[in-house]
Amino acid sequence: MSVNQNSEHNILGCNVRISADNNNNEMALASVKLLKEEILKLREQKPGLREIDLAVMSALRIASRLQEVEADFKNSISDLKSGVEDAMEYIEQVSPGVTSLKTPSH
């Protein structure tokens, strides 16, 4: 049975309550930490920004990084799939029948 854990965080003056089960609590806390770090970096780079601007720009930066990671992941999976297909074709060329499923004989 998983128990929800609650925690409160102040992000740019907004009190945010996080409720997550044991499995997701660590990820939720890491997400809060990531957002706070992004806000601090942006605040250092552009000290005159309003808090709403900091919030939106931080969210956009994180979303952009997520999209980059997703695109890299998709490309990696595609490259892996292509490599496996090429390897299977090569194995079939040098050892016909090896890649077909064989049932063990008793």
* 2 DSSP 8-state letter: -
User: Is residue 101 assigned to a domain?
Assistant: no
* CA distances to 100, 106 from 103, in Å: 10, 9
User: Is residue 103 assigned to a domain?
Assistant: no
User: Is residue 99 assigned to a domain?
Assistant: no
pLDDT given at position 4 = 77
pLDDT in tens, 29-43: 999 999 999 999 999
Mean pLDDT of 55-83: 96
* CA distances to 33, 58, 61 from 11, in Å: 10, 12, 16
User: Is residue 106 assigned to a domain?
Assistant: no
Q: How far apart are CA 53 and CA 57, in angstroms?
A: 6
pLDDT given at position 25 = 87
- pTM for the model: 0.70
* Enclosing domain of residue 35: 5-94
pLDDT given at position 87 = 93
Give the pLDDT band of residue 66 (cuts 50, 70, 90): very high
User: For residue 105, how many C-alpha atoms fall within 13 Å in the half-sphere facing its CB?
Assistant: 0
Look up residue 40 and give its two tokens: 């601090």
Sequence-distant (≥ 6) Cβ neighbours of residue 24 within 8 angstroms? none
Cα–Cα nearest to 40, from 21, 55, 20, 22: 55
User: Is residue 86 assigned to a domain?
Assistant: yes
* CA distances to 1, 6, 29, 105 from 34, in Å: 28, 18, 9, 56
